[in-house]
Amino acid sequence: MTPPAVPSPAAASVLDLAPVVPVVVIDDAADAVPLARALVAGGLTAIEVTLRTPAALDAIRAIAAEVPDAVVGAGTVLTPGAVADAVDAGARFLVSPGWTPGLLAAMRASGVPFLPGVSTTSEVVALLEQGVREMKFFPAEAAGGTAYLASLVSPLPRARFCPTGGITLASAPAYLALPNVACVGGSWMLPRHALTSHNWPHIETLARNAAALRP
């Protein structure tokens, strides 16, 4: 029997927090709190910290403890072990670039919202069959962009996406105008020069511009 088509726990609330989810790579955990405060002050409250650096889990832990208005999540979640580590650190949602049955089971069992990654129609259908309706579309630009997602609206109206990968301030509005796109993920509000110089006011300004994108 096909499982009921229900969203992962509270996933819709994460998708609806802001039109843009910052995708953050943190090299120094000491930067996590001021960076998160700048993003939240700019209106971006859902923050995806990618598990790509040794500092990532400490960064999640610090944001969860010291920035109460942030909803911090873990991105680039690739294994069941990473699921456990991220949730233990305080991640309130999980994002993966793709999924396997084992990873999906671990994310579902974690008790926190999750967005498994897809880039093909078959992957979307497989998740819908498992009762998962909220997904990450990755890599968005390389996988077909707005034209691809628009083509999924009629045949797969239950699927809801957060496209990530190659999206910019200029291209984000076209994604957000699609009925099956709830928000987009991006890193354009986190330029390297601002991070290395700790220019948090500049990041706050860029975050505010991103938060204003909702059509």
Active-site annotation, residues: 48, 136
**CA-to-CA distance for 106 and 100, rounded, in angstroms?**
10
Q: What is the Cα–Cα distance from 91 to 159, expressed in whole angstroms?
A: 24
**Alpha-carbon gap, residue 194 to 186, rounded angstroms:** 16
Fill in the DSSP letter of residue 185: E
Cα-based angle 88, 32, 61 (whole degrees, multiple of 5): 15
Backbone angles phi, psi at 134, to 5 degrees: -100, 125
